[in-house]
Amino acid sequence: MIRILVLVLFASLSSFAQDKAAFKLFSKEGKPVDYQKMIVEISRADIVLFGELHDNAIVHWLQLQVTKDLFKINPKLILGFEMFEADNQLVLDEYLNGTIEERHLLHEAKVWDNYKNDYKPLIEFAKLNKLKAIATNVPRRYANLVSRKGIDALTSIQDGGKQFIAPLPIGIDLELPGYKSMISSMGSHGTPGNAENIARAQAVKDATMAHFILQNLSTGIFIHYHGAYHSQNFEGIYWYLKKANPNLKIVTIHSVEQEDINKLSDDNKNTADFIICIPSDMTKTY
């Protein structure tokens, strides 16, 4: 009798544990998706846009797993990072090819505070497997220039600096829902037009990341890591890529948090081809 009770208790605890998933994957429509099915689908893409929650431990772990599994299918993999600005490409290359040590990379490449926990594993994977890692983001001083003075201020940058930005003039559509929502949520910020300029600065980031992705496309797969906002709802980077080349096969991955991850909320449906749903109380990396 005791043995039966122990077995029943063990079965109950096992069932309970299975319900405590760290994440669940969904399709655009909100249907559950198997991880391997997602890998097969994204392995057929020219570009994979992986939108992350910057402080989410599970998302960063999944980025590494997806990268490793894509590499098994197509070793001609190229990694791209919002987290590195385009004018730091030389420093990044020097680290990857062994010319400089990690301390130089950390000191000179304006790495994010959470680099060691969240992005170092990807950079080390690239280094180990001799993969390209591309710094795609606009230098922050230029994004700040746009937020302060408007998009026309980019023309004042010297030619040496313009190589780190998408070619001018950069077309910006502030009627896109993402930018429009950003402007609405910020209001005027006390200065007429300031909210619009902040949205334009965001668009410059999106356009520049798309530009450097396109510059570095090859016969392999380009996987790009960035904040979820930058490709949410097939806007941002995705919009600029498709504008430049409508024939590109782009697959998007989006990250969201919910209290209950067993069913994707209506608000999170149609935000990407694949949606990673993580419990809202998941451990944060910073």
Set out the domains of the chain in order of their start, with CATH numbers. Answer: 42-53+74-262+272-277 (3.40.50)
Q: Token digits for 111?
A: 């790495």
Query: What DSSP designation does 122 have?
Result: H
Hey, CA dihedral for 134, 239, 258, 265, is it positive or negative? negative
pLDDT at 267 over 90: yes
Kindly give the interhelix angle for 140-149 and 194-215, rounded to the nearest 10 degrees: 150
Note the pLDDT tens digit of each residue in 118-135. 999 999 999 999 999 999
Note the pLDDT tens digit of each residue in 60-109. 999 999 999 999 999 999 999 999 999 999 999 999 999 999 999 999 99
* Inter-CA distances, 225 with 152, 160, 179, 254, Å: 28, 26, 20, 11
DSSP 176-228: SHHHHHHHHHHTTTTSTTHHHHHHHHHHHHHHHHHHHHHHT--SSEEEEEEEG
Q: Whole-angstrom Cα distance, residue 190 to residue 193?
A: 9
Note the pLDDT tens digit of each residue in 154-196. 999 999 999 999 999 999 999 999 999 999 988 755 565 689 9
pLDDT at 232 over 50: yes
206: left (phi over 0), alpha (psi -120 to 50) or beta: alpha
Q: Which helix (H) or strand (E) holds 279?
A: strand 274-279
Note the pLDDT tens digit of each residue in 12-26. 444 444 568 999 999
Q: What is the pLDDT of residue 283?
A: 86
Determine the Cα angle at 227 with ends 204 and 175, to 5°. 45
| DSSP helix/strand/coil, 10 | helix
Average model confidence (pLDDT) across the chain: 92
Q: What is the pLDDT of residue 285?
A: 87
Q: What is the pLDDT of residue 19?
A: 66
Q: What is the pLDDT of residue 191?
A: 60
| DSSP helix/strand/coil, 20 | coil
30-40: string of b/e by CB count within 10 Å (b at 16+)?
beebebeebee
Q: Round the CA-based radius of gyration of the chain to a whole number and report it.
A: 21
DSSP 244-266: H-TT--EEEEEEEEES--SS--G
